[in-house]
C-alpha cells in the first residue's frame, strides 16, 4: 500500500509545447560543398560574362563591364559590378581608375591593399605593353600612334605637370625615355640648355618633348610655344633636331608641329 501511495503522489508530467512565439527558429544548413542560391547565381553570371568576352571580344564591352571582369580576378568572391561603377564615377574614366594614386584608390570602400596593388600592376603592365610599340628596334616616327598611346598611359592622368624627353639616334630609334622635370598642377620649369646637355650626353641627334596638362585640355599655352622654340633654337646649331612637342591630357593630345607652332 505504501508503494501504491507513493505512485499516486508522484504524477507523471509531460512538458507542454512552448507557445508559438517562443518556438526556436528552424535553421536549414547548406552543406559546405553545396553553394547557396546567391553564390550559384553569381558564379553563373561570371561564367556568362566570360563566355561573352570570348565570343565578341573586349571591344564590345562597356567600360564598367571590362572593369568588372578585371575585378573578378582580384576579388573572386564578390559581386564587383557595383564597385566597378563606383570607381568609374569617382575617377571619370577607365584609364582614370588605373592612373589614380594608391592613396586615392585606398580611400574607396571595397578596395583593400591587395586590390589596389593589383590595379597598379595592371597599369604598369599596360604601360610596358605600350612601350614595346616604341621599342629600340624600329624608328619611333614610324609608330606615331603607339607613341601617343604610350605617352597618354604614362602621363595624361598625372596630377602634376611633368616634362618627358624621348632621345633618338640617327635612325630615329629610341635611345632613352626620361622624365626630366616635374612641376605643379599647371606649370613645369623647363631649362632648354639642360635638355640639350642631356641629349649630348646620350649622343642623341633628335628629341621629342612630351608634357601633360592635368586640367585635361591639351591645348598649348603661349609659354609652351615659347619654350619649344627656345629649345629648337639651341638644338639646331648642335646638330640636334626637335621633331615635335606633344601635349597630352585626359581629353586627347596636341602636336605643336601639326599645329604649325614649331
pLDDT of 7 > 80? The answer is no
Contact 246, 148 (CB under 8 A): yes
Structural element, H or E, at residue 162:
strand 162-168
CA-CA distance, 51 to 45, in Å (whole number)? Answer: 10
Contact 97, 119 (CB under 8 A): yes
CA-CA distance, 232 to 255, in Å (whole number)? Answer: 15
* pLDDT tens by residue, 17-72: 555 445 555 443 444 444 444 555 566 667 777 787 788 777 888 888 889 888 88
Residue reference for cell 553569381: 42
Question: For the chain, how many residues are written?
Answer: 262
Contact 182, 158 (CB under 8 A): no
pTM of full prediction above 0.85: no
Indicate the pLDDT class of residue 126, thresholds 50, 70 and 90. confident
Task: Please name which of 115, 97, 232, 108 lies closest in space to residue 157, comparing C-alpha atoms.
Answer: 97
Per the structure block, which three cell numbers stand in for 245? 612637342
Domain over 137-255 is classified CATH 3.40.140.10: yes
Task: Please name which of 203, 209, 255 lies closest in space to residue 230, comparing C-alpha atoms.
Answer: 209
Q: What angle do CA 260, 228, 219 make, to 5 degrees?
A: 60
pLDDT of 1 > 70? The answer is no
* pLDDT tens by residue, 215-251: 888 999 999 999 999 999 999 999 999 999 999 988 8
Q: Is 211 helix (H, G, I), strand (E, B) or coil?
A: strand
What are the residue boundaries of the structural domains of the chain, listed by start? Answer: 37-129, 137-255
Please report the pLDDT score of residue 55 as a whole number: 82
* Kind of pairing between the strands at 241-249 and 206-212: parallel
Which of 56 and 135 is assigned the larger pLDDT?
56
Amino acid at each position: 500500500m505504501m508503494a501504491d501511495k507513493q505512485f499516486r503522489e508522484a504524477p507523471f508530467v509531460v512538458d507542454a509545447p512552448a507557445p508559438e512565439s517562443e518556438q526556436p527558429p528552424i535553421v536549414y544548413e547548406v552543406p559546405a560543398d553545396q553553394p547557396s542560391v546567391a553564390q550559384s547565381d553569381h558564379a553563373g553570371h561570371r561564367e556568362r560574362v566570360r563566355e561573352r568576352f570570348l565570343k565578341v571580344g573586349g571591344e564590345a564591352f562597356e567600360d564598367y563591364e571590362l572593369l568588372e571582369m578585371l575585378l573578378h580576378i582580384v576579388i573572386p568572391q564578390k559581386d564587383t559590378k557595383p564597385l566597378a561603377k563606383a570607381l568609374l564615377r569617382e575617377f571619370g574614366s577607365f584609364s582614370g581608375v588605373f592612373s589614380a594614386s594608391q592613396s586615392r584608390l585606398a580611400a574607396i570602400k571595397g578596395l583593400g591593399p591587395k586590390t589596389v596593388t593589383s590595379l597598379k600592376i595592371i597599369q604598369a603592365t599596360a604601360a610596358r605593353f605600350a612601350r614595346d610599340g616604341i621599342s629600340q628596334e624600329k624608328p619611333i616616327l614610324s609608330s606615331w600612334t603607339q607613341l601617343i598611346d604610350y605617352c597618354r598611359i604614362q602621363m595624361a592622368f598625372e596630377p602634376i605637370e611633368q616634362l618627358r624627353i624621348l632621345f633618338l639616334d640617327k635612325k630615329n630609334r629610341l635611345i632613352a625615355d626620361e622624365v626630366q622635370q616635374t612641376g605643379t598642377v599647371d606649370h613645369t620649369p623647363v631649362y632648354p640648355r639642360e635638355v640639350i646637355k642631356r641629349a649630348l650626353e646620350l649622343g642623341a641627334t633628335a628629341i621629342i618633348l612630351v608634357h601633360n596638362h592635368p586640367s585635361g585640355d591639351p591645348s598649348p599655352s603661349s609659354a609652351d610655344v615659347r619654350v619649344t622654340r627656345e629649345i629648337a633654337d639651341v638644338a639646331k646649331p648642335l646638330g640636334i633636331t626637335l621633331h615635335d612637342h606633344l601635349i597630352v591630357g585626359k581629353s586627347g593630345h596636341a602636336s605643336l608641329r601639326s599645329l604649325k607652332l614649331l
